[in-house]
Amino acid sequence: MPPIAWLGVAIGAGVAAYLVGWPAWQAYRSREARDTNKERYLAWRGRAVRGQASAREGMTGEERRRIYAGASLGAIAVAALLAFFATS
């Protein structure tokens, strides 16, 4: 395959990785921030549950799948970029 094609694959996979993974990551982080703020507020008001672990749920299944898909596409982009440098 010509080097320019490898570069196109690398750019395309990188953009796809960003478009797939970034929204899932942002949704996860914003939910974690909301949960932390809620726990802090309840502790400040004296209504926090004592002796119990945090009620955070972590990533949803859909977010986890999207993060894994984005990471896979990112790995493909890196491999294609290395192939571009190797063939040029």
Q: What would the pLDDT profile of 16-61 be if each residue is shown by its tens digit? A: 999 999 999 999 888 888 777 777 777 777 777 666 655 567 888 9
Q: What does the alpha-carbon distance between residue 2 and residue 87 come to, in Å, rounded to a whole number?
A: 7
What angle, 0 to 180 degrees and rounded to 10, lies between the N-to-C axes of helices 61-87 and 3-45?
Answer: 150
What's the pLDDT score for residue 30? 86
What's the pLDDT score for residue 38? 75
In this predicted model, what pLDDT tens digit does every residue of 51-87 receive, in sequence order?
A: 665 556 788 899 999 999 999 999 999 999 999 999 9
Q: Are 56 and 35 in contact (CB under 8 A)?
A: yes
Q: What does the alpha-carbon distance between residue 74 and residue 21 come to, in Å, rounded to a whole number?
A: 9
pLDDT surpassing 80 at residue 2: yes
> Which residues does 20 contact at the CB level (< 8 Å), separation at least 6?
66, 69, 70, 73
